[in-house]
Chain A
Amino acid sequence: MLQLLLIAVRNLAQHRRRTLLLGGAIAGVTALLVMLQGMTTGIRSTLLESATTLSSGHVNVGGFFKVTAGQGAPVVTEFPKLVEIIRKEVPELDFVTERGRGWAKLIADDGSSVQLGLAGVDITRESGLKKTLKVTQGNLDDLAKPGSVLLFEKQATKLNVKVGDALTISAPAARGANNTVDVTVVAVARDIGFMSGFNCFLNGDSLRQLYQLKEDATGALHIYLKDIESTKVVQERLRKRLVELGYPVMDADPRAFWFKFEVVNREEWTGQKLDITNWEDEVSFVNWIITALDGLTYVLIFVLLIIIAVGVMNTLWIAIRERTREIGTLRAIGMQRRRVLLMFLVEALVLGLASTGVGAVISALLAMGLNAAQIPVVEAAQLITMSDTLSVRVTGGSILGAVVFVTTCTTLISLIPSFLAARMKPVTAMHHIG
């Protein structure tokens, strides 16, 4: 085997130009695969960060309260009881917070305004928010004061406000009326992906005041787990348990809560119904981007692999033609067919491993460089990247996966010419002498 490896390495070294060309192409495909996966992972991770900071916990106990059949509001009543149940039923729990939900117009003194989703928070219980939000102006803890709001940088720029400036929040309420509340900007945070463009944080009591809610009412309970992998298990367990405890629970619907108004308002029931969702449900409206990017990656890699396949086959054909005498000689002196097959497979494997290894290193370095450079993404592209800077997350697993995948493909492709080389008759060697 060592001898076959030696022959493979030396043959590749002997035909340096051909090896470099084909190896370069394989390395390029590997690097591209790793980079595309890194971008998808980066987007997924930004999305997770955005979603679990702005609009969702890992698991959510939300729901709708209807005074009349056609008027649903994203409200959960008597939430302290639910918090107790959650603490008891979810040993995987890291922490739980309550979030008010709303949709309102924020109006600045100079008349500029934006429509934003409102998240009413009790900042004293939001340990996750404190870790994730990067406050550039003001103080996050000031959100504990009544009548305080935190904006993201782009929102503050659009409204032309800074910390200490006043805003009026106007929200549509029942029977066509608008409720308003005056607030002060207490903090401005760095944008988190494109989703921070339509969400802001308001003092929880101020949100209750805006919608005239009781103290024990909120929008949803955000449950953060020690390990995000247990999300689905916890979601299902909680759903079953709440039903057992007599809570009316909505059927599973993997969409963000604001997509459900129409369905909820069409239904006849009144009162409270709970809705158990997870973070993926709450950001499902942007999942198409990840799906599209995944699809693009697969199509691109498929096309590139075909090109590589043609290259590998062609190169091996040339190598086999050039080495006809060598193959015949080796067969004549007693090398079995399967060892000839193995000899060419080893050559393809060595080429594949070396090239994909180089490609993986290049892509890892490139990803490190791109991340360090904090390259800004144009606003239109932020819809795709979910972030204002380019983020490429290359993991050891994705590198290993790409190396194994491309090397396996290269080796499998080389099976055809290798098999034909192994079928060659040893008499071919003698013919060269005739």
Chain B
Amino acid sequence: MDPIVSIRNVTKDYTLGKTVVSALRGVNLEVHKGDFISIAGPSGSGKTTLLNLIGCVDTATGGLVQVVGQSTGQLTERQLTDLRLHAIGFIFQSFNLVSVLSVFQNVEFPLLLQRKWTAAERRKRVDELLTQVGLQSHAKHRPNELSGGQRQRVAIARALVTQPQLVLADEPTANLDSVTGQNIIDLMKDLNKQQGTTFIFSTHDPKVMSHANAVVRIEDGQIKDRISAAEATLAVAAGH
């Protein structure tokens, strides 16, 4: 089976004044459909940069990035945007909801961008998603009327509304308390199991890592190893 994400010998350099900082140095990674993968590593290790490249919001300095069979380096800005719209869902650490839109309108927004759904189809799809994340009764609320956990649920619903093949979540529980964070990960895991959606999320929280099928550990811009969640939890406990 072809991988949904294939990264080969990818490098990413940033120029800060006269200094060139290498955020990623020859990274190789394959993610398959239905995977629930955690990218773990300390701050500054390169996990966000890696997610940016997989999410097509940034381009690699060198190497090959393939997402849902398309080589991102060969796509135009417009094509990359289309790829993001149709194939990728994003969940952000700070939720990033549009503050002036209601919960319903936030979730509906990607469907409007796709311009292929009727109003009735959009309503049905959004209602389904809001029911799945347990927020149907909050459809008319604005984001500032919700708790952090509820906002992240809205963000998850928005990420899944277009039925993307891949969902990227950058530290999705970092701004939540542990119980709420646990609930969010459980929700993501359920959606992964029920719908087979591929999830890649970054974290440095061992509890969150423990839910993953596999943990990709990254350090100093290089992938250290790819281990199981149990191994990762033990490694964290052992201080590695």
Contact = CB atoms under 8 A, between A and B. Distances in A.
Contact of B96 (A10, A334, A425, A429): A429
A332 B77 contact: no
Interface string B12-37: 00000000000000000000000000
Contacts of A337: 77-78, 81
Nearest to A10: B100
Interface size band for B: 20 to 34
A260 B114 CA distance: 74
Contacts of B85: 333-335
A14 B96 CA distance: 17
Interface residues of A, number: 27
A429 B58 CA distance: 11
Contact of A335 (B52, B92, B113): B113
A322 to B, nearest CB: 10
B170 interface: yes
A430 B170 contact: yes
A430 B51 contact: yes
Given A332-B55, A430-B48, A10 B90 contact: no
A333 B43 CA distance: 25
A14 B100 contact: yes
B78 A433 contact: no
A178 B103 CA distance: 94
A4 to B, nearest CB: 9
A3 interface: yes
A7 B98 contact: yes
Given A332-B55, A334-B113, A427-B58, A326 B98 contact: yes
Given A427-B57, A430-B55, A433-B170, A329 B96 contact: yes
B38 interface: no
Contacts of B150: none
A139 interface: no
Interface stretch (B2-10, B63-71, B104-112, B186-194): B104-112
B74 interface: no
Interface string A405-434: 000000000000000000001110110111
Interface in A303-342: 325-326, 328-337, 339
Nearest to B84: A334
A359 to B, nearest CB: 25
Contacts of A432: 92-94, 96
B82 A430 contact: no
Given A6-B105, A334-B110, A427 B52 contact: yes
Interface of A: 3, 6-7, 10-11, 14, 325-326, 328-337, 339, 425-427, 429-430, 432-434
